[in-house]
A = this chain, B = another copy of it.
Amino acid sequence: MHPDRVEERVEAEAVMPAVPLTVEGSSVLHQMFRLKWAAWRALSESARREAVAEAAAALGEMEPAGERQSALYSLLGHKGDLLFVHFRQSFEELGAAQLRLERLKLADYLEPTTSYLSVVELGLYDSSLRLYRNLLERGLRPDSEEWAKEVEGTLAQHRKAMAPRLYPSIPASRYICFYPMDRKRGGAANWYTVPMAERRRMMHEHGEVGRKYAGEVKQIISGSIGFDDWEWGVDLFADDPLPFKRVIYEMRFDEASAVYALFGPFYVGIRLPARELIVFLG
């Protein structure tokens, strides 16, 4: 093992906390629906027109960029026909958005296939290591009140500085790619027992790949531990879908992904603005 890693390991086994500083922002709900096309087509044209108008009006109110925004996508394949992505200020507001959709006439023709509940999140490995080392050098103990106060202060600073990334608008890109993921805890590869400094190194290497594609792909990470069945949700946005494949493939060779990542199902959609709903729904 590389001497640096040995040193890190020793440090870790002393008192370096394992949990990275993390700041949270918007509450996020992904809703995937299958359209009951046969029943929908069986409706009279006027009833369909009315239902589309109502749905387009509701979506039209929700889709402008801002702190409370929803976007609609048509999905490719059998996993669903429509994907709604809601960014809100709280779970209460997500519940209200969900209920609002459910009360549309169109809802009678939508069958939920799956969904994902999460909160926009930034994991701050660099800052964590810097702060923890500094506090340790000052002789503080992780279970002390002073430590907690310093951590809370640092988090508050980050929340303020990172507000635009914590409460983002939904990128206007043509395509979305959504998937959930876990960090492995089985067998020899256990992310949660890897020392902080080593995790930081891997996350840094991982981020390098992301930065190469920054001009083509926008990424929003949300945390879902305690909220849904995987640990994180990943949303990628781009005007061409090929970079989705390229960035994820290239990342798969990173140690953080190759060894420690488990991926859930992938969903690919094409943005469907309120004004085009009438075209899609015929």
Contacts and interface: CB of A to CB of B under 8 A. Distances in A.
Interface of A: 18-19, 22, 24, 29, 31-32, 34, 37-38, 41, 74, 76-79, 91-92, 94-95, 98-99, 102-103, 107-108, 112-117, 119, 175, 177, 179, 185-188, 190, 192-193, 223-229, 236, 241-242, 244-250, 252-253, 255, 257-259, 261, 265-266, 268, 270, 280, 282
Nearest to A91: B241
A78 B108 contact: no
A113 B115 CA distance: 14
Nearest to A32: B78
Given A187-B188, A190-B259, A115 B244 contact: no
A161 B130 CA distance: 46
Q: What 5 pairs across the A-B complex have the smallest Cβ distances? A: A192-B258, A77-B115, A226-B244, A78-B112, A18-B253
A107 B38 contact: yes
Please give the count of copies of this chain that the complex contains: 5
A74 to B, nearest CB: 6
Contacts of A261: 185
A187 to B, nearest CB: 6
A192 B253 contact: yes
Nearest to A108: B38
B225 A252 contact: yes
The main secondary structure of chain A at its interface with chain B is: mixed
Given A193-B255, A226-B236, A226-B268, 4 more contacts: A24-B245, A91-B241, A103-B282, A227-B268
Given A227-B245, A258-B192, A91 B270 contact: yes
Nearest to A41: B108
Contacts of A179: 226
Contacts of A98: 76-77
Given A18-B253, A226-B245, A31 B78 contact: yes
Nearest to A249: B225
B250 A226 contact: no
A22 B245 CA distance: 11
A75 to B, nearest CB: 9
A258 B190 CA distance: 7
B226 A258 contact: no
Contacts of A244: 226-227
A24 B242 contact: yes
Contact of A248 (B95, B103, B226, B252): B226
